[in-house]
Amino acid sequence: MDKRTRVFNAMDKKPVDYVPVGFWKHFFDKGVVGQPCIDAHIEYYKQADLDFLKVMSDGYFAFPTADGKQLRSAADLRSIRPVEADDPWIRAQVERVQALVEAFGKERCVFYNVFTPFTTLKCCFEGDSLDASDAVFMKAVREDTDAVLGALDIVAQGNALLAECIIKESGADGIYFPVSNAEHDRFTEQEYRRIIGPSELYVLEHINRWSDYNILHCCGFAGTRNRISLWYDYPAKCVNWAVHVDDLSLSDGRVLFGGKSVLGGFDTHWGDDENEMRGILYHGSKEELQSYTKELILNAGKLGLLLGGDCTTDHRIDPQRLNWIIEAARS
């Protein structure tokens, strides 16, 4: 069975010869945009015999703003304008994915990362770190929720158009769609469903019009627990969540997400220090990693299972460690 068939079968909950494996990482150290970013992806996926590619959207987290300026307040949200398919922000991402589909698409499935409108809009705000931008944005949310809702509508249309172009023009097999911002101390459940949920579902349902093979990622960003139940009924072929952050096994999560195919099983988060990698993925011996891999498969079953990370792996990981996991999964 070739890699593409293996991944499609796993997502469709059909029999597979081996459980497919996929891990992904950022390439901030190699090149964020342009050819250096494409080359970094190619180098990584030649080193690790992974069953599919998840292409990172590094360099394009933020929605295009007037003159490329960062936003500072709720009033600035009213300057957000719709994008068209020929916008450089969309064209550059289409070209990135197209190059990687040409390099690997005949052999492996290719998925592209498209963030939610809330995350995309958050990245437009001023700050020298993600936490700083988050604080400025949340202040704007509390000051003028209507302005935020209007901007989210525009960004949702832009993200949906981006995903459509990626699938139709680049030849990607589907979209990897990370939902987040459902931490217990950010919004109440009612606020989340009113402010964030509609724009997420707009993009996700549009994505599903263009591909049947999309992955919902429930992101435990920086090891933060979410109200993961908010996403149980989100429509996607396959679900990936922070097994270790949300303390929800692959088997139990499969039930809660309505029997969908599942992706994950390996802790990829950091400790309290941003340089402290934790978990068996980074520190286990070959024997320990392979034993853990086999245990995951035995516990969750081969049907409807793809092995991978809770989230993005550390960029310093040795690809050989991933090949140990692949070897075990194919044993």
Q: Which amino acid is at 85?
A: A
Q: Which pLDDT belongs to residue 325?
A: 98
More confident residue, 28 or 205: 205
Give the whole-number percent of the chain exceeding pLDDT 70: 98
| Residue 254 domain boundaries | 3-329
Q: Which pLDDT belongs to residue 69?
A: 87
Q: Which residues contact 165 (CB under 8 A, 6 or more apart)?
A: 85, 90, 94
Number of domains in the chain: 1
33: which DSSP letter?
A: S
Question: DSSP assignment of 231-247, as one string?
Answer: GTT---SEEEE-TTTTT
pLDDT value at 271 more than 70 = no
User: 234 is written with which tokens?
Assistant: 């989100």
Q: What is the mean pLDDT of the chain?
A: 94
The burial of 186, by beta-carbon neighbours within 10 Å (0-12 exposed, 13-18 middle, 19 or more buried), is given as: middle
Give the strand pairing for 238-241 and 215-218.
parallel
How far apart are the two ends of the chain, measured CA to CA in Å?
14
Q: Which pLDDT belongs to residue 66?
A: 82
Q: Which pLDDT belongs to residue 14?
A: 98
For residue range 50-75, list pLDDT tens digits in order.
Answer: 999 999 999 999 999 988 889 999 99
pLDDT value at 94 more than 60 = yes
Q: Which amino acid is at 288?
A: E
The three-class DSSP label of residue 188 is: coil
For residue range 176-231, list pLDDT tens digits in order.
Answer: 999 999 998 999 999 999 999 999 999 999 999 999 999 999 998 877 889 999 99
- What average pLDDT does the segment 235-241 reach? 97
Q: Which of 232, 207, 208, 204 is nearest to 218 (CA)?
A: 232
Q: Which amino acid is at 136?
A: V
Say if CB 117 and CB 162 are below 8 A apart.
no
pLDDT value at 274 more than 70 = no
pLDDT value at 38 more than 60 = yes
Q: How many Cβ atoms sit within 10 Å of the Cβ of residue 126?
A: 14
Give the whole-number percent of the chain exceeding pLDDT 90: 87
Residue in the block written with tokens 């492996």: 108
User: Domain containing 141 — which CATH number?
Assistant: 3.20.20.210
Give the separation between CA 265 and CA 227, rounded to whole angstroms: 19
Half-sphere exposure of residue 116: CA atoms within 13 angstroms, side-chain side: 20
